[in-house]
Chain A
Amino acid sequence: MISPSIFVFAPLASAALFTALMVVRSRNVIHAGYWLLPCLLAVAGLFGSLEAHFFVVVQILIYAGAILILILFALMLTRDVMDPKQRQTTKFAPLAVPLCIFVGLGGALMMARAPWPAIQAAAPGPAEQTKALGLGLIGDYALPFEVASLILLAALIGAICLAKAEKEPAAPEPVIDLRGEIELEESVSAGAADGH
């Protein structure tokens, strides 16, 4: 009962798994960040094999094209970017092993037992999919869609506050200095005026 789609799925899935493993295993954080690129593209390929064409575009555009850039910038912002000598694990690492096995096995068991519905009709074309998604956004799912913009706004304001907060404590000092200088200057000029 092997369908030909396995020949598309298997290489893509193993590529995604392998690159994800490399993300975790790389001791150089920048390399880890760049391993995410093929990983995200392999996931885009998986979307493609499911004929979810608009999601292929979104996966590449948002994840590979935007969020990965954000991650790379964040990595380059960290101290000791090129230090491969630091410990990669905490003391809880041994605990993670049974937990991972438990979660992995449990997930596999659930997926194996789930009654997966079989799709009979062919998927609609990419433009129809995109249009249906658009109709959903302005129709049935209008409220969640509008709320999504609030979440994005919150993320934006939060980031600005964080990035700008660093400079705030330093700000008052020059003001005090300046005021002192102005007072000094005023008194000097006043003195000069007196003497005149």
Chain B
Amino acid sequence: MSELYLTFAVFGAVAVGFVCVNLFIARLARPSAPNPDKLETYECGPLPVGEAWQQFNVHYYLFALLFVVFEVEAAFLYPWAVAYKQVGRYAVVEMLIFVAILAAGLGYAWRRKAIEWE
């Protein structure tokens, strides 16, 4: 099994190496002539107003929370998926209850228009 993690590590290392080598070669090859105008943040021509780092719509947070809840549900479903055949119908009903409770949550979010983008 440890070879497996090694394989993933090799793939990750190749990705990092690939990016670094490319950026390094580009650094050697490319010209560099910065001036204050070039280094301005691009905003379709006019000078940028203020910073981009501001508060944003609370809606994104709501979606992230919904996502976490259902991702946890999915994580529970994986072990169930490989085990339910051994138990049979009982297991299906049991998981159906679990998912129905969460589906009720989704229904509530739907009714409160929480999954509606404004």
Residues of A at the B interface (CB closer than 8 Å) are: 8, 30, 45, 48, 51, 53-54, 57-58, 61-62, 65-67, 69-70, 73-74, 76-79, 81-82, 125-127, 130-135, 137-139, 142, 145-146, 148-150, 152-153, 155-157, 159-160, 163-164, 166
**Cβ-neighbour of B61 out of A30, A73, A137, A155 (below 8 A):** A73
Contacts of B67 in A (CB 8 A): 66, 69-70
Which of B65, B87, B101, B104 gathers most chain A CB within 10 Å?
B65
Interface residues on B, range: 35 or more
Question: Would you mind naming 13 contact pairs between A and B with Cβ atoms under 8 Å apart?
Answer: A48-B5, A54-B78, A70-B61, A73-B61, A76-B55, A77-B55, A79-B55, A81-B53, A131-B82, A135-B86, A137-B76, A155-B65, A163-B61
Q: Which residues of A contact B53 (CB under 8 A)?
A: 30, 81-82
Output the nearest chain A residue to B94 by Cβ-Cβ distance.
A138
Query: How far is B110's CA from A160's CA once the two chains are assembled, in angstroms?
Result: 10
Q: A135-B86, A139-B87 are in contact. List 20 more A-B contacts (CB 8 A).
A: A53-B1, A62-B75, A65-B71, A66-B64, A70-B67, A77-B58, A79-B55, A81-B53, A130-B79, A138-B80, A138-B87, A146-B94, A150-B101, A153-B102, A155-B65, A156-B65, A159-B66, A160-B114, A163-B61, A164-B112
CB distance from A156 to the nearest CB of B (A): 4
Interface residue from A133, A142, A146, A149 paired with B73 (Cβ < 8 Å): A149
Residues of B within 8 A of A135 (CB): 83, 86-87
CA distance A180 to B47 in the complex (A): 45
Q: How far is the CA of A63 from the CA of B87 in the complex (A)?
A: 30
Question: How close is B24's CB to chain A, nearest CB, in angstroms?
Answer: 23
Chain A facing B: main interface SS: helix
